[in-house]
Structure 1
Amino acid sequence: QVATNTETSKNVGNAILYETVLTIMDIKSESGLRVNFINSTAQTNVQNRKEIGFVLLLKLTFNCYVMSIVKLLDWFSVSCPRRAMELSFALVNGNNVRGMMKELLYFLDSCEPEFKADCASGIFLAAEKYAPSKRWHIDTIMRVLTTAGSYVRDDAVPNLIQLITNSVEMHAYTVQRLYKAILGDYSQQPLVQVASWCIGEYGDLLVSGQCEEEEPIQVTEDEVLDILESILISNMSASVTRGYALTAIMKLSTRFTCTVNRIKKVVSIYGSSIDVELQQRAVEYNALFKKYDHMRPALLERMPVMEKVTTNGPAEIVQTNGETETAVLETKPPPSGLQPANQANDLLDLLGGSDITPVIPTAPTSKPASAGGELLDLLGDLNLTGSPVSAPAPQIAQPPFLLDGLTSQPLFNDIAAGIPSITAYNKNGLKIDFTFERSNTNPSVTVITIQASNSTELDMTDFVFQAAVPKTFQLQLLSPSSSVIPAFNSGTITQVIKVLNPQKQQLRMRIKLTYNHKGSAMQDLAEVNNFPPQSWQ
């Protein structure tokens, strides 16, 4: 009645008629109603009404073709299902993504092994592009990992980890779903790797029962460790999967309170593992417990939000995920590339000269001059002025001195015991102390641990520490342990700085401090020149 009696001489009537078209297509009505409406709109001489009827006809035709193509997925041949699968992915859009993914997941569950890799990759891409919600996106990828197993691409694991990390509100739900998914079944290595990573990161949410998306489960700390230890000793676990599990156990030492001694025993056992990679991790984790326990909470804190890593060109499909080591995105990638000369020179003026370098660049590539002042973000709005130069500042090749997630050789030597600490800053109740350690793998590396304390009566919030060093050095700032400095010296913030000094020159540093205190935004600059000789000679 609405379609027949609507006056279409004005735009309002056409709008109502258009919505009627969409309603007829979306509801489960009789096919005769659709045919009658097409006929009534096509027979009239009103141009707008004909166009609306054509829209309805196109949508009806599209839906008919989609259903026919989906049915061909189960055809008893080789070429027909493959072509139907490829065409199905091409027809996915934001309106039909739920239904199409449901059919494609059924196909993934029952198809021949030769189709699983391509089908899994297509589902990943379609879900990323058209996902109606983060929960649906996570559930879909977990379903693929459960179904396709080791047929998925190697980058599926870090991509899912990146998605989970960025979905803060879904952490409790995701870790609970993954925990239940791997109970008693470790055959799907990509799923086990993601589950191990999430349990290590969000194990405290799992045992606290904070899940609001579904009914929380009751899990104890010992039960969580039982699962991770079972992964370590399982014959189905690949070497990289065991590495995920051991790292997860180590991270739980800062999230669990009643099982720290058990975690120490597990880590010490694998210090004599025949797997060299596993043994190396265990030895370094033991060193954290014994020599650097004060740094352990900061080093094992929860991962920050990760940036999406993209690749140029199609990724290679690898069908042995469990046997090929997958790179977990543990840190936010630093900016890379050759910076424009005028930006670099502005930053080099930070210490009053042109011999200063900021944070270490990695994987340099050419970058256009219009990229904007990314380097200037290091020290914010300092109104830096420097004369432009004609060529970009030369890059210093990055040696492998960074600890790379604590997977290098034994961390520090005993020289650190004789290096005195210094007070780098002490003003307005804020005190910054530097303690020093020397790397055992590279004598040119100095590891500086800053400790920020607050002697005032109110907390200092949103604390940010930034630094720059001369160009003959290379510097990397790790994430701080917190952004709030408690009042009355009741707690400290720790942050690790790693400095490479290949020429053994005297170290100097410019630091910038920003924080909020008593309702006001505070900012200050300072230069540190009193580094002890043992820290750089």
Structure 2
Amino acid sequence: MALSGMRGLSVFISDIRNSQNKEQERLRVDKELGHIRTRFKNEKGLTPYEKKKYVWKMLYIYMLGYDVDFGHMEAVSLISAPKYPEKQVGYIVTSSLLNENHDFLRLAINTVRNDIIGRNETFQCLALTLVGNIGGRDFAESLAPDVQKLLLSSSCRPLVRKKAALCLLRLFRKNPDVVNVDGWSDRMAQLLDERDLGVLTSSMSLFVALVSKDYDSYWSCLPKCVKVLERLARNQDIPQEYTYYGIPSPWLQVKTMRALQYFPSIEDPNTRRSLFEVLQRVLMGTDVVKNVNKNNASHAVLFEALALVMHLDAEKEMMSQCVALLGKFIAVREPNIRYLGLENMTRMLMVTDVQDIIKRHQAQIITSLKDPDISIRRRALDLLYGMCDVSNAKDIVEELLQYLATADFAMREELSLKAAILAEKFAPDLSWYVDVILQLIDKAGDFVSDDIWFRVVQFVTNNEDLQPYAALKAREYLDKPAIHETMVKVSAYLLGEYSHLLARRPGCSPKEIFAIIHDKLPTVSTPTIPILLSTYAKILMHSQPPDPELQNQIWAVFSKYESCIDVEIQQRAAEYFALSRKGAALVDILAEMPKFPERKSSLIKKAEDTEADTAEQSAIKLRAQQQTSSALTVTDQPTANGVPPEAQLGPVKMPRMSNEGHNAADQVLARSNGSATDLQASTPSQDLLGDLLSPLAIEGPPSAESERNPVSGPAIAADALALAPVGDQTNTVQLIGSIAERFHALCLKDSGVLYEDPYVQIGIKAEWRSHQGRLVLFLGNKNTAPLVSVQALMLAPSHLKLELSEVPQIIPPRAQVQCPLEVVNLRPSRDLAVLEFSYKFGTDLVNVKLRVPAVLNKFLQPIPVSAEEFFPQWRSLSGPPLKLQEVVRGVKPMPLMEMANLLNSFRLMVCPGLDPNTNNLVASTTFYSESTRAMLCLVRIETDPADRTQLRMTVATGDPALTYELKEFVKEQLISIPPASLAPQPVPQQAPPNPPIAQSDPGAMLAALL
């Protein structure tokens, strides 16, 4: 833009550039805007030169990022100026400051139309540029016919027609219902004969838009497109300015090939032959050279030609030539070219005739799995997955299993799923399939979804010949000193069903099988215990007549878990204990599981859904399906036990977080012909209040009730914070203990007292698994009169999905109510849920708002990381927003070991020896949510021995939101350390029943817990 002679504008720009800081710049801008506003108010005194100068200044201020909310009318009025300098600034500023719905644009339509239909080419170009940039509906209705005439006019210069084509393209894309293109086939054929490459390129862009909407009307244009490609391929009549690094107009070549892909086929043999000759020339003339710009242009043409070859289903010879060319690409050093080669070779898999040719490059593709660039590794994984069949499945799956040990955490979940799908889809025999899945679980247990091991169970159950082999392999894996919990599940299930087939083998007697499985019991989480209990019952059944010592050991386990708070464990233990006393009848009741009905695997369904995807979409869609699909669980079998859940379980049933394999207790009841009723009659009634008072049910708060200063825990949303302040809340009743301290204690442990006053005590027992949580709220009435008008409302932040069971309005005297609460973490956030609880006792109406300890660290799972795993992952997360660093001041001084204990208490596993500086700490963990699934998190803290009140913290994850939230969470804990955070007390495994509580002592319930 020409600014010569505008001294005021030049001075203003110099002042802005010379500003020392942002504040000084803002003051200068405000001063100038005030001056312009004052001058515009007295518009009669403005010369055209001054108005133009002020409008230029407004545009410059707008480009700096400041709002310009006045002067629009002055800018629009300049469009009608007779001279070019004023008209130019009017058009430029109007198209920059105003959008398509602005009222002032309607005032300019007539002026713009006059410029378009006028004879001044410069004004025509300005008007077309404005219309194309804004593209509003008003412009389309009023000006589209004039733009069409301009495009088809033979008297206009190519510069104007080129702009007219692009302007019409913009209007058609924005308003296809307004722009009338009926009968444009002949007109487009005429435009495609254009010799000027500028007009031809713009017209081809318009043609692509037209055929994308309706290709059937433009069949007559297809031979014209082929002639355009022939002209470019032979470099006929191509001006030098349209030749890019020796390539004739690569942009036009790409657009033309893309337009041809909208037509389903080419029937005319002459046209088809001419087109394939052009494509052959492109394939033969493309190679990798040192010049990056030339590579980019030639490869853009090449890959569009490959897409067209696949679309037209070319002859096998040309397909083979395409694969051979891509084989060269995946072997070069340039990573971008390797990526493009792998991506396009994956697309070539859609052509059935070339899969055998692609297999020749299998070794090079496997090498790409070890590439430093993760995007290349992903494309190589997609390609291996797509090219796998019966002939090479064994080699590819074994390579994937070897690669699994060193693969990035970000790829292990996808890698595990694909290896499992390939093993099932192309297994040469079922024993090999079992070997693969067990190796998969052993090497990547954290990243193996449940539906994978469910599928193994189904295969083994339905194939009798496979059962001894599977049981033997499971027994071998249990000999390892440390195995993943998923391996414990599948091994326990298989040995429970089929260990009797190994009875003659050394180390496989029922007593030895029980001992080796029982050794794993202390290491597993709550959801796995029901599977082990089912295994014990099966072992006892297979050892009939039972070994007295083995029987007593198993009975002791059942007896121990009969009082467990988890309803699934409690139900199974009680039922199995009762059933195991039936002697020989146990064999009939606990017979082997029947065969599953034949049905399609959910894993195969995922594979079929992803085969039609492009290389870019396959990994994303596969993971999304894994998150939302129904896993292949054997609970598809009907559980016709005929007994209501309440009758089976007793007073309270806790909702299940997920189904883990067979619901063995339900299957047993289905066979036992009414044994559940007998079991219910023989089970003594439970003392609900005693359940709350038992240390097994709830772990108490910190033992000291001394005065502590309440400190702020994790941040919560503004509305939730207003509902539940961090400090103790005032009410009409005297609280027992500190609400804030109780909340902070529950942030570190999974059981304890959340709230207590003279009338009621609210306890919590929780368990957390990946992104899900299962809590039970214990509402205990401590008095001899009922609590009435009881209400509990859960206020959930947007990142949590909460489901609280119905709370009864009346709690009887000296009774306890259990209210299950299910939690699902949708995405990373430090916001908290709030429980609004109210009740009435006599004349006292109590209403409290309590923060629920579903905090960020509950969805963390500590994971040890070796130096070989840590440093590549740390380097791959190169900077913001995935890696954030901050200097934290105001830290409470503490020894380094104490800080390490603090991090460990929040489920951040400190990994010693990774940082060579002994004053630094490195920690790792895995975060779970529905949006991120398993996400590795790395934390580094650098301390200053001379000043323990400050440190530098770096947090790195694969998700920007998670990185920020975790950094802020750790910072809050370091600045204000919650009470008792450094020494969380473990939940005792067993304890004698508590003594009765005197009714006259309102604090006795807390004392019993402590």
TM-score norm. by structure 2 comes to 0.27
Higher helix share: 2
Task: Between the two structures, name the one with larger relative contact order (CA 8 Å, sep ≥ 6).
Answer: 1
